[in-house]
Chain A
Amino acid sequence: MSNPLAIIGRVFLNSLAEIGRLSQFAAVAVIHIVRPPIYWRLALQQMWLIGYNSLPVVGLTALFTGAALAQQIFVGGSRFNAESVVPGVVVIAIVRELGPVLGGLMVAGRVSSAMAAELGTMRVTEQIDALTTLSTDPINYLVVPRLLAAVVTLPLLVLVANIIGVLGGFVIGTERLGLNAGSYLQVTIEFLENADVVSSMVKAAVFGFFIALMGSYHGYNSRGGAQGVGKATTNAVVSAFILILLANLIITVIVFGDQA
């Protein structure tokens, strides 16, 4: 029916327009962070919602991943009689990559969707318009607290995830694979560098920004009733996933790209 080139062109133009709208939304949101009022109570409330409620799922993910990782590295390493690399590789892999990425993805699944659903419902029921008519800037009232909360909370969650992930490896390593507990911990600490921890926290903060940004953007701009809110929710999660994975790659290349 339609010319395939025309379809590709249209999709390309639509994506460009979407990126433009998103960047504009992000810029407006960031400008509002430095433009009072800041609703600290709402930010704290969001921190609680994001942080405390995500702890179980993030912790479990880290625990199982750390444990599975230790098992696999042990199997791989034993081919070269190098079982002793287990603690070092586990801690590097968890802190540099898996802790922030898996933590970010799990939180995105929970939080971006919840934010998009809440703001989307507020949009289609005209609550966002009502805020404006009550002399309250909806970006300040709704978006900024979510952004602040996510940027602060994600590093804390990822810190916990890193510790639990290493612990998962430790438990498997010492209980099942027969590694010595004392030297496991010693190797772990020796391998870990400041840059690893710092990059892990930076990644977490960036992921937190994208999680809240995607949830807010899609919710805030949702259209067309319950169906529109459903679509906004899905789009928020998918786009947050993609942005997290892309940002992770970029940060990894910048921080670790020139290490031999």
Chain B
Amino acid sequence: MSTTPMIEMSGVTKAFGAKQVLRGVDLSIPRGKSLVIIGGSGTGKSVTLKCILGLLKPDAGSIKVDGVEVTKLSARQRKKTLSMFGMLFQGAALFDSLPVWKNVAFGLIQGRGMKQTDAKEIALEKLRRVGLTPDVGDLSPSELSGGMQKRVGLARAIASEPDIIFFDEPTTGLDPIMADVINDLIVECVQDLGATTLSITHDMASARKIADRIAMIYEGRIIWEGDKDTIDISGNDYVDQFIHGRAHGPIEMQILKP
């Protein structure tokens, strides 16, 4: 197996108008490994994922997917790269004009040209894997609870068995038991598919379960990265404050500064 990291970001910056969100993000995820990014609200976690996917164009820096620089790809080449990815969006982002099963099968039907009947079978199987019965498949996404939508989004992300899967807050809005089911599922995905995963979460239990490595983002930079076992002994005040959820610490100081 080659040793090029599956995803490699260096010096990635992104601003929206005057607002500098990413200030030089450096990240590297080896093939088949699971990285979890933790960090406060609005620190640019989702923006980081969207830059890798090409949904946002970074202002500077380099992003390599499987060794290929993706920031300068043409639309056509990008499409090829995108077919390696599955993504669970923070708000699920289900297509509300389509029934649930078509949402799950979307990438198979539209992206890969699979026959509807075959795709439906796979879709129902993926739904079952995330704990949803086949009758849910015929409902409209707007008829589902938030947690169910999340699970459908998850089923959609893994339906085409991609090489790289992004999970943007996969367990937010789920009850603790379902959250753990989802965590198990993510771990399985990495093991079964050999997928490389990048997850964002605020849920430390989830991070500890699904991560090989954990990185903390703060003010648009990765301020700490290490194996998940070392997070409790990181010696980093920001990380300590975050994982223990303390209201007081260096992060609050920054908020009060201006």
Can you list 22 A-B contacts (CB < 8 A)?
A122-B95, A125-B91, A126-B89, A126-B90, A126-B91, A127-B93, A127-B94, A127-B95, A129-B50, A130-B87, A131-B95, A132-B82, A133-B55, A133-B86, A133-B87, A134-B156, A135-B107, A135-B110, A135-B112, A136-B110, A136-B111, A137-B79
Q: CA–CA, A135 to B77, complex, Å?
A: 11
From B53, B86, B87, residue with most partner A Cβ within 10 Å: B87
Interface residues of B in 125-144 (CB under 8 A from A): none
Interface residues of B in 38-94 (CB under 8 A from A): 50, 53-55, 75, 79, 82-83, 85-87, 89-91, 93-94
B106 within 8 A of A: yes
Complex interface: chain A residues within 8 A of B91 (CB): 125-126
> B residues touching A (Cβ–Cβ < 8 Å)?
50, 53-55, 75, 79, 82-83, 85-87, 89-91, 93-96, 106-107, 110-112, 156
Take A137-B79, A141-B110 as given contacts and tell me if A132 and B93 are in contact as well, using a CB distance cutoff of 8 Å.
no
Q: CA–CA, A260 to B87, complex, Å?
A: 64
> A residues touching B (Cβ–Cβ < 8 Å)?
122, 125-127, 129-137, 141
User: Do B89 and A134 touch (CB < 8 A)?
Assistant: no
Take A125-B91, A130-B89 as given contacts and tell me if A135 and B55 are in contact as well, using a CB distance cutoff of 8 Å.
no
User: Do A133 and B85 touch (CB < 8 A)?
Assistant: yes
Q: Give which listed residue, B55, B90, B106, contacts A134 with CB less than 8 A.
A: B106
10 A-B pairs with least C-beta separation: A135-B111, A126-B93, A134-B107, A130-B93, A133-B87, A136-B110, A129-B55, A126-B89, A135-B83, A127-B93
Please report whether the interface of chain A is mostly helix, strand, loop or mixed according to DSSP: helix
User: Do B110 and A134 touch (CB < 8 A)?
Assistant: yes
Smallest CB gap from B162: residue in A: A133
A148 to chain B, nearest CB (A): 18
User: Do B93 and A125 touch (CB < 8 A)?
Assistant: yes
Q: CA–CA, A247 to B82, complex, Å?
A: 40
User: Do A135 and B93 touch (CB < 8 A)?
Assistant: no
A115 to chain B, nearest CB (A): 13
Complex interface: chain B residues within 8 A of A137 (CB): 75, 79
User: Do B94 and A135 touch (CB < 8 A)?
Assistant: no
Q: Give which listed residue, B50, B54, B79, contacts A135 with CB less than 8 A.
A: B79
Smallest CB gap from A121: residue in B: B96
B113 to chain A, nearest CB (A): 9
B169 to chain A, nearest CB (A): 13
Complex interface: chain B residues within 8 A of A133 (CB): 53, 55, 82, 85-87
Take A129-B89, A130-B89 as given contacts and tell me if A136 and B106 are in contact as well, using a CB distance cutoff of 8 Å.
yes
Smallest CB gap from A42: residue in B: B97
Q: CA–CA, A127 to B91, complex, Å?
A: 9
Complex interface: chain B residues within 8 A of A132 (CB): 53-55, 82
User: Do A134 and B53 touch (CB < 8 A)?
Assistant: no
A146 to chain B, nearest CB (A): 13
Complex interface: chain A residues within 8 A of B89 (CB): 126, 129-130
A257 to chain B, nearest CB (A): 42
From A129, A135, A141, residue with most partner B Cβ within 10 Å: A135
Q: CA–CA, A116 to B86, complex, Å?
A: 28
Q: CA–CA, A126 to B75, complex, Å?
A: 19
Smallest CB gap from A139: residue in B: B75
B192 to chain A, nearest CB (A): 21
Complex interface: chain B residues within 8 A of A131 (CB): 95
Complex interface: chain A residues within 8 A of B87 (CB): 130, 133
Q: CA–CA, A81 to B142, complex, Å?
A: 65
Complex interface: chain A residues within 8 A of B50 (CB): 129
Q: CA–CA, A230 to B94, complex, Å?
A: 21
Smallest CB gap from A39: residue in B: B110
B159 to chain A, nearest CB (A): 9
B200 to chain A, nearest CB (A): 14
Q: CA–CA, A238 to B151, complex, Å?
A: 40
Smallest CB gap from B56: residue in A: A129
Smallest CB gap from B97: residue in A: A118
Smallest CB gap from B112: residue in A: A135
Complex interface: chain A residues within 8 A of B90 (CB): 126
Complex interface: chain B residues within 8 A of A127 (CB): 93-96
Smallest CB gap from B53: residue in A: A133
B216 to chain A, nearest CB (A): 24
From A122, A133, A137, residue with most partner B Cβ within 10 Å: A133
Complex interface: chain B residues within 8 A of A136 (CB): 106-107, 110-111
Smallest CB gap from A136: residue in B: B110
Complex interface: chain A residues within 8 A of B79 (CB): 135, 137
B252 to chain A, nearest CB (A): 28
Complex interface: chain B residues within 8 A of A130 (CB): 87, 89, 93-95
Q: CA–CA, A132 to B87, complex, Å?
A: 10
Q: CA–CA, A137 to B82, complex, Å?
A: 11
